[in-house]
Amino acid sequence: MLRVGIAGIGSIARVYLGLFAAGKISGGRVTALSSRNMAHLTGARDAFCTPDTALFTDYEAMLHSGLVDVVMICTPHNRHVPMALQALKAGVHPLIEKPLAVDADEARALLAACKAHPELTAGVLYCRRASAAYQQAKQLAESGALGQLKRACWLITNLYRTPAYHASGPWRGSWKGEGGGLLLTQASHQLDLLTWLCGVPNEVTALCEFGAERAIQVENDVTLHIRWPGGATGQFIASSREFPGTNRLELSGSKGQLILENDRQFTLRRLAQDERDFARATTGYFGPIFFTEERWQAPEEPNEAQQAGIVADFLAAVESHRAPLCPVPDALGSLLATNAAYLSAWQGGTIPVPPPPGAYAAALAKRMEEE
């Protein structure tokens, strides 16, 4: 059983500590905690851990203590990459809370370090990948059932956050504190899934509303227009100021269409003939193409089941020397798209993915200066 250290004892770390304590994460046990706040450390140990769990106010000391094989990095966004680099240097497998980083250029340094340490496994806690429904969607997309992707559209507006939420921590809703808003926090799960299902896009055009109806600096309402290298196009529409909101993903290809609503409800339409072949052969103006339709519902999964699943998968990946559900290169892909979206919203126009080196960091620094 792998020995797990947790760095940063905030709300998300306490969720994972609770899952370990309840025996819901297989393959590992918590042996050490790290935080600059000793009260947080003792409180977490008393609530979730055994009395012999080691406490460290020095992260490096925990990494070199010989007490941990894996470290879960649950610190603020801008500390993810530096702390993961320290872990790799110490020979410890890093599992990083999402997002991978704020700046994709910084994350590239982590990717290079991962390649330099092939004996170590690094992953990111994009827990929606552990969902049975999205794993089924991934299998359908990869099976060829949809044919060549034509369009992807995700309407994800059920991410409601109140002003009280943004006021609950001094870092929330600020460029300095979080490095971004909806795209980097709440909706980053869906952007990760979109790139997992469809691949990394090659250009993004964004319209973002910054601080719409909320006293925050960052975006809370987003519309992205996306293009993929194969010619497919898409839209990603997200909001945290609507209620009750909608969650609907559509993937349309040359052989059919997949619709997934509310993370559970599937509709699969299979064309009797590939649309490209039909279009070349028909003399008709409007079709139709015969298709069959299947509907089913995936089992309901609480969020904690996905959180436990992504950690258990990572621990199993370390033991079996395979890639985890969300390796660093995957998380970098969605971060590159996110950085391009911010640049598009700030500068106007379409931005390539990846964006020009240094462009995002310079633009973000300007936003931070203006706060």
Question: Does residue 30 belong to any structural domain of this protein?
Answer: yes
List pLDDT tens digits, range 278-294. Answer: 999 999 999 999 999 99
Same domain, 186 and 74: no
List the end-to-end C-alpha distance of the chain, in Å, as a whole number. 46
Expressed as residue numbers, the domain containing 84 is 2-128+304-332
Q: Give the total residue count for the chain.
A: 371
Percent of the chain with pLDDT over 90: 98
List pLDDT tens digits, range 77-105. Answer: 999 999 999 999 999 999 999 999 999 99
Q: Taking the CB of residue 142, how many other CB atoms lie within 10 A of it?
A: 10
Question: Does residue 16 belong to any structural domain of this protein?
Answer: yes
Is the pLDDT at 370 greater than 90, yes or no? no
Question: Does residue 340 belong to any structural domain of this protein?
Answer: no
Q: State mean pLDDT over 6-31.
A: 98
Is the pLDDT at 366 greater than 90, yes or no? yes
| Cβ burial, residue 371 (10 Å; 0-12/13-18/19+) | exposed
pTM above 0.75, yes or no: yes
List pLDDT tens digits, range 148-191. Answer: 999 999 999 999 999 999 999 888 999 999 999 999 999 999 99
Same domain, 99 and 54: yes
Residue 60: CATH number of its domain:
3.40.50.720
CB 68 within 8 A of CB 92: yes
Our count of domains for the chain comes to 2
DSSP 289-302: --EEEEEEEPPP--
Res 352: pLDDT: 98
Question: Does residue 354 belong to any structural domain of this protein?
Answer: yes
Q: Could you say which DSSP state residue 365 is in?
A: H
Res 303: pLDDT: 95
Same domain, 213 and 267: yes
The tokens of 332 are what? 């970098």
Same domain, 217 and 275: yes
Nearest by Cα to 222 from 173, 187, 273: 187
Question: Does residue 150 belong to any structural domain of this protein?
Answer: yes
Same domain, 189 and 138: yes
Same domain, 149 and 102: no
Question: Does residue 196 belong to any structural domain of this protein?
Answer: yes
Question: Does residue 98 belong to any structural domain of this protein?
Answer: yes
Same domain, 242 and 253: yes
DSSP 141-153: HHHTTT-SEEEEE
Same domain, 110 and 223: no
List pLDDT tens digits, range 47-81. Answer: 999 999 999 999 999 999 999 999 999 999 999 99
Alpha-carbon distance of 167 to 68, in angstroms, equals: 35
Same domain, 220 and 71: no
Same domain, 232 and 277: yes
The tokens of 314 are what? 């990572």
Q: Taking the CB of residue 341, how many other CB atoms lie within 10 A of it?
A: 30
Res 47: pLDDT: 98
Alpha-carbon distance of 254 to 269, in angstroms, equals: 11
Q: How many CA atoms lie within 13 A of 166 on its CB side?
A: 22
Residue 161: CATH number of its domain:
3.30.360.10
List pLDDT tens digits, range 306-329. Answer: 999 999 999 999 999 999 999 999
Is the pLDDT at 371 greater than 90, yes or no? no
Same domain, 180 and 256: yes
List pLDDT tens digits, range 114-151. Answer: 999 999 999 999 999 999 999 999 999 999 999 999 99
Considering Cα of 101, then 103, then 106, then 110, what sign does the dihedral take? positive
Question: Does residue 259 belong to any structural domain of this protein?
Answer: yes
User: Do the strands 28-34 and 2-7 form a parallel or antiparallel pair, or are they unpaired?
Assistant: parallel
Same domain, 245 and 171: yes
Give one word for 318, left, alpha or beta, with left for phi > 0 and alpha for psi -120 to 50: alpha
